[in-house]
Structure 1
Amino acid sequence: MSPLPSSLPAMVRTRVRAAVLRPSRLTPEEAEARALLLRLCSLLLQYPDRELVAGRAELANAVAALPRSRAAGELAVFLAWFAGQEGEALERHYVEMFDLRRRSGLHLTYYLHGDTRRRGMALLTLSRRYRAAGWDVGGGELPDHLPVVLEFAALAGPGGGEAPLRQHRRGLELIRCALAEAGSPYRHVLAALCGLLPPPTRADLAAVARLAADGPPAEEVGLTPYGYGEFAPPPACQEDSR
């Protein structure tokens, strides 16, 4: 696989650079490609600040250098849209999709636990998992923010590193469904990610529909909900639109 181009801004290049504990079931090339896919998903789900926007062409080149796969194709489709938008339009769309809508917020423990005491414990467990692996998240985001979880998965590998993604598979499916229903190009990033994980079972899909209809547990413990609006069953959840 071709290395990332040297012209990629330093911040972007650092975030994308593959550094992975390679599992025995994957060849080194496969492990590197998987880690890069996860890192690219992490990057593309971050707020589109000026530096990220400046790296769009290089990000597209990084995706083009990946081995052909459905996930790489989904990211290529997203980047074709991403490259053609003005920075302010990208910012507005990101805020609308991820900050103002509960069904497509990026804090994974919210879908499993809502604003309950169990969510606080889940956040603590994630933080401990990161520290045990020798990884310092920093103070910018909560440990369940999807780009953070993806970065850890890329660093620690498909076993323990991707365990939080598998644990929150239903939440990820709900986000994908909600983005598909809204017609957001970010649905392609979620489709790429979900395609790397075990497919949802019928029980998973039924649970996603219930979650979309009823929302997560509602015990209030002082955590601010991430986003506004109501939970309602998204039609996209009834049929896999990937």
Structure 2
Amino acid sequence: MKTFKVLSALLTYPSDELAKAAPDFGAVLHAEDLIPAAQRPALDLLIEEIATYDVYDLQERYGLLFDRSKTLALYLFEHVHGENRDRGQAMVDLRAMYDKAGLSIGASELPDYLPLFLEFLSTRPVAEARALLSDTAHILAALAERLGRRQSVYKAVFDALVAVAEDAPQREAVDAVLQGPDVDPMDLVALDAAWEEEEVRFGPSAQGQGACSHDGLIAKLRHARRAVGPAPSHPQ
């Protein structure tokens, strides 16, 4: 589905090329009609801003949001595993799933980067993509809440992703992700403290039994989903 490619593009670093492509995004979303109508106006506003605002202003805004604050990082496992060793195993599992599906990524690319994950979903059947998206929905909903506190138009992307997911995130799982301080990106002292964490280890030394299994990946993506029973489905 090209919808996932559009949402991936909206979460990438603003550039002249992205601004030139943005006017076509709305037509793609309308044609595929995957995103509920309630989420579309906010997405249209973000698309318009990316297409028309000064690119340097867009880049500054993007950097303040996603590059300077760990609580808004676009790396999925940052919000589940932080910098502990479980994150390394989760990376191995996710990269293996990409490889199995024929998606090749560079050695320096982290597989849990959200725009990359959305690119992967764009290559899968829609039912499978929505199911996989459900396993990250608690993370996406938490990021939407944090962006809402900042009155950021980027919230629209995360709201749309949660709406498209097969299952709604459980509130307990969202709250688990939201635990801890949400550091102001302008508070440089607090930011420095937040970034001073343990070294994370990837590669063979981080691997254990069951590495590279699809089920292992799903278990790790669902790390924060502790409530008993299935999450309720979204109304369509």
Instruction: Give the TM-score of the pair, scaled to structure 1.
Output: 0.68
Counterpart Cα distance in 1 of 2:62 and 2:118: 18
Q: Does 1:201 align with 2:167?
A: no
Could you report, residue by residue, the CA deviation over 1:181-221 in whole angstroms, capped at 9, with x for unpaired residues? 1111111111111111122223223323325679x9x9723
Identity %: 27
2:147 is aligned with 1:179: yes
Q: Residues 219, 100 of structure 1: CA spacing in aligned structure 2 closer, same or farther, 3 A cutoff?
A: closer
**Matched AA of 1:208:** V
Alignment of 1:23-172 (within 5 A): 35-67=1-33, 69-139=37-107, 141-162=109-130, 164-172=132-140
Question: Equivalent residue for 2:221?
Answer: none
Q: Distance in 1 between matches of 2:80 and 2:11?
A: 20
Corresponding residue of 2:198: 220
**How many residue pairs get matched?**
187
Distance 1:37 1:175 in 2: 20
| Structure 1 residue 178 displacement after superposition | 1.1
Asked if the contact 2:8–2:116 (Cα under 8 Å) also holds between the matched residues in 1, the reply is yes
Per-residue deviation, 1:82: 2.3
Q: Give distance in 2, aligned partners of 1:71 and 1:55.
A: 21
Q: Does the Cα contact within 8 Å between 2:134 and 2:168 map onto a contact in 1?
A: no
Structure 2: which amino acid aligns with 1:220?
E
Which residue matches 2:227?
Answer: none
What do the CA deviations read for 1:46-93 (whole angstroms, capped 9, x no partner)? 111221122222224434444373343432132123233111011111
Preserved contact between residue 179 and residue 187 of structure 1 (Cα < 8 Å): yes
Q: In angstroms, what is the RMSD of aligned CA positions?
A: 2.6
Partner Cα separation in structure 2 for residue 53 and residue 69 of structure 1: 24
Distance change in 2, residues 1:118/1:109 (3 Å): same
TM-score norm. by structure 2 comes to 0.70
Structure 1: stretches of 5+ with no match in the other structure: 1-34, 224-242
Q: 1:120 to 1:164 in 2, by over 3 A?
A: farther
Q: Which runs of 5+ in 2 are unaligned?
A: 184-193, 202-236
The residue matched to 1:155 in structure 2 has which SS? coil
